[in-house]
Amino acid sequence: MDLLTLTLNEERRVTLTAVLQGTGGEYHKLTKRRPAVLVLPGGGYDYCSERESEPVALAFAKAGYQAFVLRYSTGAFKDWPNPMEDYEQAMELIRGKADEWNLWPDKLAVIGFSAGGHLAACGATIGRNRPDAAVLIYPVTTQESADMCGAGMPAPVEHVSASTPPCFLAATRTDMTVPVLDSLRFEQELVRYGIEFESHIYGYGNHGFATGDPYMNDTPVCARTADWIPDCIGWLEDLFGVPTFTGFEDPVCPRTVNADRADVLSLDCTVAHLLRQEGEAAELLTPVRSALDRAVAEYSDHGRNVEPLFRLRTLREMLRRIGFPAEDLGDLDDALKKIPNPEKA
């Protein structure tokens, strides 16, 4: 194992610490490359918290990741866009050294806490260098909270889009430094754009619970806060694939909840999206329309309105639910995939 500390900006005291583990040898196929995390500690842009730095990097390193900690511009140097530039520089450096440091440049998650969560959320929404997943722990996302960090800070919640990567959020209900609303509102924006996320809002505990270990906290904190790291590792494995001795298993969780903004049409678009297509797509869908119509009729007793389901369900899921024969679907999917999606991201 190597521990490197690289100075990214001497004047602003910006450093990147790297915890790099071996590859090949006993690890066989797996660690020709490893997945990676970049940790952005919190501290209100006044300082970078030790409690949210190495202890977090160590947990992911143990789980098989190359782990980095960025100590970005704070205090006298915190004015925007300094911290953002530090982030971009770190991401470029890490992906640029993917070969040397034996990591997958497309399995790189950023993990930010509080103000570092603000920076991570900025990276995920307005960064030139988007992470492959963003882990936001009691993050600042709204303008009001950003203003508590300093003037001129952007509000990442206002910049979520179809190009935002999947996100993992954790916070406590009783946070009295950054409101839990900063997490909830960010999640709502992720819903708007169909982005995958996972979220854990724990019942109580102070802002800054870090890893949730008892030695991290000087006030009572919900015991379940310590679950976020194993839960996050599980989620990243769902997204990136489980690292095993012989390589990565296939991911089980898609990065968007439907294909309404994909390049081409498919069964994974919502029913509503497909039904508003014209021309060839409409023609291809003729055989399933009657099945859908029958289903609608069936569901619509008692004045029930099923129309929202069409916006929620992919055609694949809708047809599965109504028992449409699965063997008839492969050809339809193939044919749809030849049609460009007019609403692609």
One of 92, 106, 147, 334 touching its own copies (CB under 8 A): 147
CB of 232 to its own copies, least distance (A): 10
**Amino acid identity at 344:** K
Contact positions with its own copies (CB under 8 A) in 216-235: 216-218, 220, 222-224, 227, 231, 234-235
Binding segment for its own copies (CB under 8 A), chosen from 89-97, 117-125, 184-192, 327-335, is 184-192
Per DSSP, 276 falls in state: T
CA distances 6 to 91, 96, 185, Å, are 13, 14, 36
**Dihedral in degrees, nearest 10, Cα atoms 108, 254, 274, 308:** -110
Q: Which is nearer to its own copies, 129 or 206 (CB)?
A: 206
114 close to 44: Cβ distance less than 8 angstroms: yes
267 token code pair: 């069964």
Q: Which of 181, 291, 296, 335 binds its own copies (CB under 8 A)?
A: 181
Nearer to its own copies, 279 or 304 (CB): 304
Q: Residue 259 — φ and ψ, nearest 5°?
A: -105, 25
177 binds its own copies (CB under 8 A): yes
Please work out the total of residues on this chain that contact its own copies, with binding judged by CB under 8 A. 95
Q: How far apart are CA 245 and CA 251, in angstroms?
A: 16
88 half-sphere exposure, CB direction, 13 A CA radius? 12
**Does position 154 bind its own copies by CB under 8 A?**
no
How deeply is 250 buried, as exposed, middle or buried, from its count of CB atoms within 10 A (0-12, 13-18, 19+)? exposed
Q: Which stretch binds its own copies (CB under 8 A): 103-111, 182-190, 283-291, 336-344?
A: 182-190
Distance of CA 107 to the CA centre of its chain: 11
Q: Indicate whether 7 belongs to the interface with its own copies (CB under 8 A).
A: no
Can you tell me which of 10, 11, 279, 302 binds its own copies, judged by CB under 8 A?
302
Decide if residue 238 touches its own copies (CB under 8 A).
Answer: yes
Cα-to-chain-centroid distance, residue 279: 36
Q: What is the DSSP annotation of 63-76? A: TT-EEEEEE---GG
Q: Give, as ranges, the residues between 61 and 120 that touch its own copies (CB under 8 A).
A: 61-64, 78-79
Q: Name which of 78 and 118 has its Cβ closer to its own copies.
A: 78
| Among 96, 203, 340, 342, contact with its own copies (rule: CB under 8 A) | 203
| Residue 150 touches its own copies, criterion: CB under 8 A | yes
DSSP single-letter state for residue 163: T
- Measured between its terminal Cα atoms, the distance across the chain in Å is 41
User: Quick check: 32 binds its own copies (CB under 8 A)?
Assistant: no
Q: How far is the CB of 327 from its own copies (least distance, A)?
A: 17
For residue 198, state whether it binds its own copies (rule: CB under 8 A).
yes
For the bound state, the minimum distance from the C-beta of residue 84 to its own copies, rounded and expressed in Å, comes to 16
